[in-house]
A = this chain, B = another copy of it.
Amino acid sequence: MDGSVEPLKARRIYLLLKERIGSGGLPPGSRLPGEPALAAEHGVSRVTIRRALDMLAQDELIDRRAGSGTFVRSHSPVRPLVADLSNVLSHIVEMGRRTGIRLLSFAYAHPPAAVADALGLKAGERTQRSVRLRLIDGAPFSYLTTHVPERIGLTYSEQDLATVPLLALLERSGVTVDRATQAIGATLAGPEVAEALDLEIGSPLLSLTRVVYGPTGEGIEHLHALYRPDRYSFEMELSRAGEGADRRWSPVPVAAARRDAG
């Protein structure tokens, strides 16, 4: 059906070499052992070694010169990464990049137990579930799944959701947003997400789960976001605060919208 399966041994060697390059084990400009030598060293055939090197070359981590050898690129492959701390939307807009939203799905249904729990819903209560894709300069970087209790979700239209940030919609509807908790983790791309984000299945993703509460502690919104780490990362500035045993890092009051290299 598919056929485009990635190699396995080749992939391992690719990851190994990539790690060595990234960690300085193979300094920039240095020459790698010849392909036959690498093949012998790793106990694989030369074809497999070449596959691994192909991937490194595609990442622009190495330069291959026929007759001469394979060299670690002196110039690192750069960082098209966007940046942000807690406020996802506005900073991007401020940075002047054109971002877009594509609404992939929109429906009212019974939420998964984990979501119902987090929002403090009664058994059987339904939510509005929407899946949106966020783009920057036309390239998708974020896959957002939100759940909003049905009664709140009815205060705006599907059309609204495809254009206006959800929190703005909520506050426009008179909902008072008070506080939120969020957790950042990592996961792998499944088939649907991989497809939407233009990735291969099994690619690493940044995951963010945020639960938004109103003043009385009732759940307002459950957001699950998946980010392509090569196009998006969380950046923040810290300052050293406290004294003695209580000395610790504390985040700088935001505002520090980080510049990006793009």
Contact = CB atoms under 8 A, between A and B. Distances in A.
B250 A18 contact: no
A16 B248 contact: no
A197 interface: no
- Kindly state the interface size class of chain A when it binds its partner: 35 or more
A247 interface: yes
B15 A9 contact: no
Given A12-B191, A201-B15, A239-B179, A185 B5 contact: no
Contacts of A129: 24
Interface in A178-209: 178-188, 190-193, 201-207
A95 interface: no
Given A76-B114, A181-B237, A251-B85, A188 B204 contact: yes
A190 to B, nearest CB: 4
Chain A residues touching B, majority SS: mixed
A203 B15 CA distance: 11
A238 interface: yes
A233 B24 contact: no
A16 B188 CA distance: 6
Interface stretch (A52-60, A105-113, A153-161): A105-113
A43 interface: yes
A238 B191 contact: no
Contacts of A205: 186, 204
Interface in A101-134: 109-115, 129
A33 interface: no
Contact of A187 (B19, B114, B184, B236): B19
Question: Which of the listed residues A42, A190, A205 has the most CB atoms from chain B within 10 Å of its own CB?
Answer: A190
A41 interface: yes
A74 interface: yes
A236 B109 CA distance: 29
Given A6-B8, A8-B6, A74-B113, A183 B248 contact: no
